[in-house]
Amino acid sequence: MNYPNVAKEDPAVYEILKREEAREREGIELIASENYVSRAVLEAMGSVLTNKYSEGYPGKRYYGGNEVIDEVENLAIRRAQELFGAEHVNVQPLSGSPANLAVYMALLQPGDKVLGFSLDQGGHLSHGHPLNFSGKLYTIAPYFVGKETETIDMDEVEAIALRERPRMILAGFSAYSRSFDWKRFRAIADKVGAYLFADIAHIAGLIAGKQLENPVPFCDVVSTTTHKTLRGPRGAMIMCKEQFASAIDKAVFPGVQGGPHEHIIAAKAVAYGEALRPEFQTYSAQVIANARALADALQKKGYRVVSGGTDNHLMLVDLFGSKEITGKEGEKALERTGISINKNMIPFDARKPMDPSGIRLGTPALTTRGCKESDMQTVADLMDDALAHRNDDAKLAEVRGRVREFALKFPVPGIEA
C-alpha cells in the first residue's frame, strides 16, 4: 500500500507503516490470535464512515443523518445471522473484553457466581481473572483441565457446577487446543439453572467455515471477536437468543459504550461476506490441517505439545519441559529471526506468567498467506534452529535470512507489493 497522503502529511507515521509492512511480509506470523485481512476490509476500515456519530441502533439513533449508517449496520447483522444461525446479533462491541463485559451486565448482578475456565489452564482474562473486571465484580468458580490428559473433564465440570450453583457458566478459551462439548455444557447449565455463555473469539472463523461445531444453537449468549480466525477487523459482536436481545443491546449501549465505530462495522460486514463464500470453508479446513502438521513436526523434534495435539488452529508447546528453554527465552530468540509467537503458561505451570514454561502457536495467518501442510515442516525446522542456537548471534542472523526467504514466497493479502 502506498499511503500517499500519509507520506505527504506525516512522514514519521508513513515510515512506521512501511516498516510494519516489511515486517509482516518478511516474517513468519505464528501468534494464534493474529491474521491478515483483505484489501477490501482495509479499505472499509479507512472509509468515510469514520466521520459519522451513530449512538443508538438502526432506526433508533440519537443523531440525525444516519440513514446510510443504518444500512451498513443492518447488512452486517444479516450476514452475521446467516453465518452463525443467530436469532439476534449486536455488531457494535469495540473489542472482545467489552463485549464480554456487556454480557455479564446483561445477565448478572455484581457478586453473582460464574463458572469459568481458569486463565492459567487456557481461559481468558475476562473469564474470571482477579485483576480483570470479571474477577473484581463477580464471584468466580474456576474449572480446570485434568493433570494427566490436559483436557477438560466434563464430569468434573458438572461436579463443580453442582457444588457451586453458578448463575452463569462461561465456556470459552484463549489457549486450549481441543474442542468444547457445547451440548454437555448446555445440559450442565440446565441442571443447575444457569445461563450458558460461550466465548468463541478464537474459533469463530473455524465455526463459520463449518469445521467446528457451532455453539449458537446451544447457548443463551455467544460472544466473539471479529479478527483472529474470522479474518475481519479488530472488533467484536454478541449473538443471543431473542429473549435476551433487549438486555444485550442495552448493556452494549448505553451500558458500556457510546457511539459505535461504523467504519469498523462496515469492515465487519465485508469480512462476514467473505466468510460466507465457499472458499472460506476451504481456508478453515486448511488452518486445522496446518496446525496438526506443525504440532506433529514439532513433536518429532522432541517438543512436547500440551494434550498431545490440536483440534483447532492453536497449540501450546511445553518448551521448558522439552528443551529447558523458558517461554520468554523462546519468544525472544524466535523474534530475532522474524518468527512471532507468544510466551504462554501451560497447565499446572511451575513458572511465572511473564516467564512461563510454554509458548503458544497458531496457523491462521500463515494459512491466509497460502501455506500448506508441507510448509509446516519448514517452519518447524526454522523454529528448532533458532531455539537450539538462541545464544548464537551469527546463527540467528542466518536463520533470519532463511525465514525471510521462506516468507517472501507467500504474499500477504491486503499489502501485496
**Positive or negative torsion for Cα 284, 286, 287, 293:** positive
Query: Cis omega (within 30 of 0) on the bond before 356?
Result: no
Whole-angstrom Cα distance, residue 345 to residue 349?
6
Instruction: Determine which one of 79, 178, 228, 323 is catalytic.
Output: 228
55 a catalytic residue: yes
Residue of 101, 180, 88 whose CA lies nearest to 114:
101
Instruction: Determine which one of 79, 138, 143, 225 is catalytic.
Output: 225
199 a catalytic residue: yes
Work out the burial of residue 338: count CB atoms within 10 Å of its CB; fewer than 13 is exposed, 13-18 middle, 19 or more buried.
buried
Instruction: Determine which one of 21, 26, 55, 398 is catalytic.
Output: 55
The residue behind cell 502457536 is 361
> Which residue type occupies 366?
L
26 a catalytic residue: no
Total residue count of the chain as it appears in this document:
417
Angle at which helices 278-300 and 373-388 cross, to 10° = 40
**Helix-then-strand count for the chain, H and E:** 17, 15
Q: What is the largest CA-CA distance in the chain?
A: 64
Instruction: Determine which one of 24, 29, 120, 199 is catalytic.
Output: 199
Helix %, strand %, coil % of the chain (to 5): 50, 15, 35
Run of H or E including 89: strand 88-90
b/e string for 146-172 if b means 16 or more Cβ within 10 A?
Answer: eeeebbbebeebbebbeebebbbbbbb
Q: Residue 10: phi, psi to the nearest 5? A: -150, 80
228 a catalytic residue: yes
Instruction: Determine which one of 184, 234, 402, 404 is catalytic.
Output: 234
Catalytic site residues? 53, 55, 199, 225, 228, 234
